[in-house]
Amino acid sequence: MNTFALLEYSAWGLSILLGLWMLVDMFRTDRSYSEDLLTSSREGEIEDASAVDPPQKRGSR
Amino acid sequence: MTAETSPANGERISLLRVLGPGHVWALGVGIVLVGEYMGWNFAVGKGGAIAALIACWFAGLLYTCVAMIDSEVTSTVAAAGGQYAQAKHIVGPLMAFNVGLYLVFAYTMLEAANAITLGHLVQTVGAMAGFENTNDKPFIVLTIMFLAWLNYRGVYTTLTFSLVITAFAFISICVLFFAVQPWSDVYIQHDQMLTGLPYGWLGVLAALHFGMWFYLGIEGTTQAAEEVRSPARALPLGTMTGIITLLIAATMTWYICSGLMPWEYLGQSVTPLFDAARLTNSTLLMVLLFIGTIFSALASANCCINDASRAWFSMGRDHYLPQVFGAVHPKYRTPYRAIVFLVPVALVFAYFAPLDRVITFSILSGLLEYTFMAFSVILFRKKWPLGSIKRGYVHPFHPLPAVMLLVLCAATYFAVFLGYGTQLIAMMVFYIVASLWFALHRYKYVRRGEQFAMPWPKPVGY
C-alpha cells in the first residue's frame, strides 16, 4: 500500500466517523427534547423575548 | 429511559444571532470567489478575452442590481431562507415554494461542483507526486462530510472559518496582481494577447453564460438574515462590500490571465489563476495560488451548505415541506436536520453527475431566482411604498435596477439556451412538475396564517 492509498483510506474512515457523529447526535437530540420544542422556531424573532436559550439539561443521556 | 425536555411557558428555540457584517461578507464572497479561480475563463473560450471582459462587466451590472435589490428587501424581511422568505411575503406561496427549490438546488449543485473540484485537485497532486491510479472519490466525500459536520456544530465557527479562508484566497489574487507588475510589460502582454472578437458579437452573448461565474452566489448573504446581530445594518453592509470585492477580484483576475495567456489556452484552462502563477516562475506564487484555489473551493462548498440548509429549514418551518426539517438544534442552534438531510443529496450529485451538468443546473436555478427578484422588488415597492415600513437600506434609481436585471436575465437565458438548450427545457419541466405537486398536494399542509410572523402593516390595496 503506498502513501496515497493510505490517505484515501483515511479520508473514507474520517468521512464515516463524521457521518456517524452527526447521525448519533441527531438521534440523541431527537430523543432528549420534545418535537414541539425542537420545531418551535418562528421567523421575525429579532426582539422577541420568548425566544430563549433552552435549558441545557439532556435528561439521562 | 430518556427524559424529554418540553417547552415551558411558550419558550422557543431560535437560530443563534451571533454574526456580524464580516461573516455576511464571507458568506457572499466565499461562495463566489472559486469562480475567479476556475470557471469564468470558459467565457474566453466562447468568444475570446475581450468578450469575457464584456461579459464580466454585464454580469457585474446584473449582480450589482441583485445586491442592491437584495439589500433593500432583506434588510426588511430579516428571516432565514432569504429570497424564499421574500417571495412568501411579497408574491405568494407557489412563488415561494419555487424560489425555495431554486435556492436549494442552486446551492447544493454548487456544493457538489466544489467537492468534485477539490477531489480533482487532490487527485492531480497525487498524480504529480508519482502515485498511479489515484482516486478522487474519498476526498469528494470527505469534503462534503467535514463541511456538513462543521455547519452542524454552529454557524459562528462555520462562517469564521469561511471568513479566514476567503480572505486568504482574495489576498492571494491581490498578491499575484501586484507581482505581475501591471504598470509595466514585464509579464503582462495585452498588446499581443488581445485579438479582438474571434466569434463576433454572438461570441459575446455566448460568453455571458460563464461571465456569471464571476459573481454567482453573492445573493446568498440573505440566508444569514436570522443569524446576524443587526440585520438592518449587517446585511446591506456585508452584501454591498461583497459585490465591490468581487468586482475588484473579477477585474484583477481578467487583467492578469488575459495578459499572460493566449485566449485559445485560457479558454480551456482548468485552473487559470494557478496557471498564471506558474507562468511567473515563482514557487512562492505557485504555492500561494494553489492554496488559494483549494481554499476558495472549500469556502464555496462551506457557504453553500449553510445557505441550502437555511432555505430547506425555512420551508420546513412553514410546512411547505415536512415540518421535521424546521427543527433547530437546542445546543448548537443550527437547522441540524436540514443539514443532515442534504448531505446524501449533495453526495449523489457529486458522485454520479458530470461537472458541467451540475454547474449548468446551478446557473439555471440562479437565473430563475434573479428573474423573480426583479418582479419581486417592483411589487415590494408597490405594496409597501417608502415610508410605510422600516427599511435598513433603500436602493437608488428604482425601478431602473429591476428593469436592467430583467433585460440582462433575458440575454443570459438566450446565452444558456445556445449551449444547453435541452437542459434548460428539462429543468423548466422539473419545476413545473414540482409546482403542480405543491399546488395539488402539499399546499393543504402549509401554515397559511402563521407563516406570516413579521410585524408588517397590511400592503397597500388590501
pLDDT digits (tens, 9 = 90+) for B319-359: 999 999 999 999 999 999 999 999 999 999 998 877 777 77
Q: Which listed CATH number (1.20.1740.10, 3.40.50.300, 3.40.50.12500, 3.20.20.220) goes with B24-445?
A: 1.20.1740.10
Report the residue from B138, B326, B327 with minimal CB separation from A11: B138
Cβ–Cβ gap A4/B343 under 8 Å: no
Q: Does A20 touch chain B (CB under 8 A)?
A: no
Interface test with B, best of A6, A41, A42, A50 (most B CBs within 10 A): A41
Residue A7 lies in a domain: yes
Instruction: Give the residue-averaged pLDDT of B173-180.
Output: 96
Residue A15 lies in a domain: yes
Report the residue from A11, A12, A40 with minimal CB separation from B12: A40
Of B130-134, B237-241, B383-387, B430-434, which gets the smallest average pLDDT?
B130-134
| Domain chopping of chain B, boundaries | 24-445
Which residue on chain A is closest to B310 by alpha carbon?
A: A43
Residue B454 pLDDT more than 80?
Answer: no
The one-letter amino acid code at B59 reads: A
Cβ–Cβ gap B145/A33 under 8 Å: no
Residue A61 pLDDT more than 50?
Answer: no
Distance in angstroms (rounded) separating the CA atoms of residues B218 and B221: 6
Contacts 24+ apart (CB under 8 A), B228-231: B228/B17, B228/B19, B228/B20, B228/B21, B228/B23, B228/B24, B228/B78, B229/B17, B229/B18, B229/B19, B229/B20, B231/A46, B231/B74, B231/B75, B231/B78, B231/B392
Which residue on chain A is closest to B11 by alpha carbon?
A: A50
Which residues does chain A have within 8 Å of residue B11's beta carbon, measured at their own beta carbons? 37, 40, 50, 52, 54
- How many domains, chain A? 1
Q: Does A1 touch chain B (CB under 8 A)?
A: no
Cβ–Cβ gap B148/A18 under 8 Å: yes
Cβ–Cβ gap A32/B4 under 8 Å: yes
pLDDT of residue B5: 64
Cβ–Cβ gap B146/A57 under 8 Å: no
| ipTM (interface predicted TM) | 0.87
How far does the CA of residue A23 sit from the closest CA of chain B (Å)?
8
Instruction: Give the residue-averaged pLDDT of B7-34.
Output: 89
Residue A45 lies in a domain: no
Give how far Cα A43 sits from Cα of B6, B15, B134, B438, B457, Å.
Answer: 20, 10, 47, 22, 16
Residue A49 lies in a domain: no
Is residue B2 very low, low, confident or very high in pLDDT (cuts 50, 70, 90)? Answer: very low
Q: Does A45 touch chain B (CB under 8 A)?
A: yes
How far does the CA of residue B306 sit from the closest CA of chain A (Å)?
16
Instruction: Give the residue-averaged pLDDT of B148-169.
Output: 97
| B205 Cβ contact partners less than 8 Å away, ≥ 6 residues apart | B47, B411, B414, B415, B418
Q: Does B407 touch chain A (CB under 8 A)?
A: no
Mean pLDDT of the residues in chain B: 90
Residue A23 lies in a domain: yes
- The SS3 call for residue B17 is coil
Give how far Cα B319 sits from Cα of B182, B336, B368, B450, Å.
Answer: 54, 17, 23, 10
Residue A49 pLDDT more than 60?
Answer: no
pLDDT of residue B131: 84
A13: containing domain: 3-32
